[in-house]
Amino acid sequence: MEKIVNIHIEKLPEGLYLATSEDIQGLVAQGRTATEALEIARDVARKLIEARAQRTGGMNLSGIADSFDYPLIVND
C-alpha cells in the first residue's frame, strides 16, 4: 500500500540538495538535483520503513487520499 511521506528539500550552499523528513526519523539524502535527492530519499525511506517494520511492526504513515497536490519538478 502506498503511503505519504513528507520530504523537506533544501538547497545547500555547495549547490547540492538535501532531503530530510520529520515523518521518518533518520531519513537524510543528498543529490546533485532536487529530483536526484528525492529519488535517493525514496530508496532510503523504503529501507528505513522495512527495518522499522522488522523491529516494531511498522510506522504510522498516512495513506494516499483520493486527491492531493504534488509539486512537479520539470527542467526548462
The CATH number of whichever domain residue 12 belongs to comes to 3.30.160
Domain span at 14: 3-57
Sort residue 42 into left (φ over 0), alpha (ψ -120 to 50) or beta. alpha
Residue 59 clears pLDDT 90, i.e. is over it? no
Asked if residue 75 is part of any domain, the answer here is: no
Average pLDDT of 54-63? Answer: 83
Query: Where does residue 10 rank: exposed (0-12), middle (13-18), buried (19+ CB within 10 A)?
Result: exposed
pLDDT tens sequence across 18-27: 999 999 999 9
Average pLDDT, the chain: 92
Residues ≥6 apart with Cβ < 8 Å to 59: 23, 24, 49, 52, 53
Residues ≥6 apart with Cβ < 8 Å to 46: none
User: For residue 13, what pLDDT is reported?
Assistant: 97
User: For residue 17, what pLDDT is reported?
Assistant: 97
Asked if residue 31 is part of any domain, the answer here is: yes
Q: Which three cell numbers stand for residue 51?
A: 527495518
Q: How many domains, in total, are found in the chain?
A: 1
